[in-house]
Amino acid sequence: MKRIVIIAIVSIFLFHLDSRAQNTPSGPIIFSKSTKATANFTGTVWVKTLVSLDSTFHCVVGTVTFEPGARSYWHTHNAGQILLVTDGTGYTQQKGKPIRVVHKGDTIICPPNVEHWHGAAPGSSMTHISIIPNADRGVVNWLRPVTDQEYNGQKVNN
């Protein structure tokens, strides 16, 4: 009897985890999508602030989910940006360089004041955690949209 109860509890737990997977190929979403972005992106993008700028840590941390084909505008960060890809396949590009294909588990370093963009590949969503250090120097400087021609440009694999 004890064995049946344990199996039932484990089954319920696994069912609960599976029901929270929210249609991602890799399992449950760690952070919710939160707020749909209404500016500075092409396509559907969801943004959630995890750590707001404060006077102690001077960083901003958030998670961004790009639906297939969605991308940010070109932009810069005065102190740079670190991106940790947590799901899917995407693209990132620094001005003057080919588009880099990125996957779950990749880290992207965006140097200070370098124009760049990032987003999802056409056939996949992509989620990343964004870390902006020294955000007391400024968080982001938005520029112009990434054109379809730029988005479809030359790609290199990691």
Alpha carbon 14 to chain centroid, angstroms: 27
CA angle 70, 75, 76 (to 5 degrees): 140
pLDDT score recorded for residue 33: 62
pLDDT digits (tens, 9 = 90+) for 21-60: 444 445 555 666 678 888 999 999 999 989 988 888 899 9
pLDDT given for residue 19 in this prediction:
37
The confidence score (pLDDT) of residue 18 equals 40
* Sign of torsion over alpha carbons 32, 38, 135, 89: positive
Please, are residues 14 and 28 in contact by the beta-carbon 8 Å criterion?
A: no
The per-residue pLDDT for 17 is: 36
Residues of the chain with pLDDT under 70: 1-33
Tell me, what's the pLDDT at 154? 84
Q: Rounded CA gap, 14 and 83, in Å?
A: 30
Residue 126, number of CB atoms within 10 A of its CB: 27
Q: CA–CA separation, 126 vs 118, rounded Å?
A: 10
Res 68: pLDDT: 98
